[in-house]
Structure 1
Amino acid sequence: MGHREDLLEGAKRCLLEKGYARTTARDIVAASGTNLASIGYHYRSKEALLNLAFIKVTEEWGDMLTEEAGEVEEAAAAEDTPQAPLDQFHETWKRVIGSYEKTRAVWQLQMEVISRIDTDPELQKALAGPQREGRDGLAENMLGIDPEADPERARVAGIFCQALLAGVMVQWMMDSDSAPSAQDLTDGLKVVLEGRNPSRQDPS
């Protein structure tokens, strides 16, 4: 790899180990084996590099979900037992919550970055496009909605999933013992869909 790629990989490691605010340019240089001048040459500023590194960390987390979702779909196809929407929702959340300890640093980083957006216009601008793409990915992974075939349904479903994900993150960060399980979320969604009439037919 060249200095540009080394810097990006080093910045990703620093973000996961130290967080956004505590990562310095010297930290990135030490982690990447490059030099301070390389940051300005390749990325203009430390902030621009960290913003891109954060996007890449989030994309890799999403890629992990996509890969796992694909494995589940392949297994279901092999058994000729396609998943109902609520079953897919439940299985996806089992994977997300089940990976919490392994990906805790990613969740912590996302919460820190969210807290910075109002005071960092460049960060806000950098995240606008990836946020929309992330919504499409969540709609596809959690609910099986193809963004290309049905973009509007994917958009609104992605907004719902993204809001839910942020709420689950906060609850797990505050108190993992009382945080929601995949079954809690699935049961809650059923109650919302049923409204005041629990005798309505199960949407799954």
Structure 2
Amino acid sequence: MGHREDLLEGAKRCLLEKGYARTTARDIVAASGTNLASIGYHYGSKEALLNIAFLRVTEEWGDLLTEQPDGAGDDDGAPRSPLDQFRDTWERVIDSYGRTRSVWQLQMEVVSRIDQDPELQKTLAGLQREGRDGLAENMLGIDPEADPEKARVAGLFCQALLAGVMVQWLMDSESAPSAQDLMEGLKTVLDGRVR
């Protein structure tokens, strides 16, 4: 790897270990084995590097959570129902919590900073729109190309749910919802039993 890639990898490690606000340029240099001048040369500023590193961390986390398991159908080869696909995806999200807690914490920290960083806010807004399609497809089986409006509103729902579940798990994992809880809640809402 060259200095550019080394800096990016070092910045990703620092973000996950220290968070956004506590990561210094010297931390990144130490983690990457590069020098201070490399940050400015390759990325312009520490903040620009951290923003790119944050996006990469988030993309990698999203890829991990939306990977479809081998044999995505039922035992008899039939495709899973949308509710089963929803529950299975949430099981992967929740089961990953122990391994990815630092990513969840980082996301909450970065969201709290967007008012202070208009460039980050602009970048995240674009990625958030892209993320909706991926969530709609992977959590609910909706093809964004075949039905873009349905994917958009389903993606909005999934993003809202993801943020809420993330906060609950960070605050109190003992009482946070399970994948089964989320599926049962969704079924209850769909059945019209909530008044």
Name the counterpart of 2:150. 153
Name the counterpart of 2:190. 193
Deviation at 1:197, TM superposition (A): 8.0
Name the counterpart of 2:106. 109
Does 1:132 find its partner at 2:129? yes
CA separation in 2, counterparts of 1:31 and 1:136? 34
Distance change >3 Å, CA 78–CA 87, structure 1 → 2? closer
RMSD over aligned Cα, in angstroms?
1.6
Distance change >3 Å, CA 86–CA 32, structure 1 → 2? same
Q: Which structure 2 residue ranges, 5 or more long, are not aligned? A: none
SS of the residue aligned with 2:94?
helix
SS of the residue aligned with 1:101?
helix
Deviation at 1:175, TM superposition (A): 0.4
Deviation at 1:146, TM superposition (A): 1.4
Contact 1:65 1:141 in 2 (8 A): no
Name the counterpart of 1:165. 162
Q: Normalising to structure 1: TM-score of the pair?
A: 0.91
CA separation in 2, counterparts of 1:98 and 1:84? 21
Distance change >3 Å, CA 197–CA 132, structure 1 → 2? closer
Contact 1:136 1:147 in 2 (8 A): yes
Distance change >3 Å, CA 162–CA 197, structure 1 → 2? closer
Name the counterpart of 2:58. 58
Contact 2:72 2:79 in 1 (8 A): no
Q: Which structure 1 residue ranges, 5 or more long, are not aligned? A: 199-204
Name the counterpart of 1:39. 39
CA separation in 1, counterparts of 2:194 and 2:125? 39
Runs of 4 or more above 6 Å deviation: none
CA separation in 2, counterparts of 1:174 and 1:160? 21
Contact 1:88 1:142 in 2 (8 A): yes
Q: Normalising to structure 2: TM-score of the pair?
A: 0.95
Contact 1:17 1:105 in 2 (8 A): yes
The superposition leaves residues 46-105 of structure 1 with CA deviations (integer Å, 9 ceiling, x where unpaired) of 1111111111001001111232x2x24x34177412100001101110110011001111
Kindly provide the amino acid, as one letter, of the partner of residue 122 in structure 1.
E
Which deviates more, 188-197 or 16-25? Answer: 188-197
CA separation in 2, counterparts of 1:128 and 1:159? 13
Give identity over the alignment, percent. Answer: 81
Contact 1:147 1:154 in 2 (8 A): yes
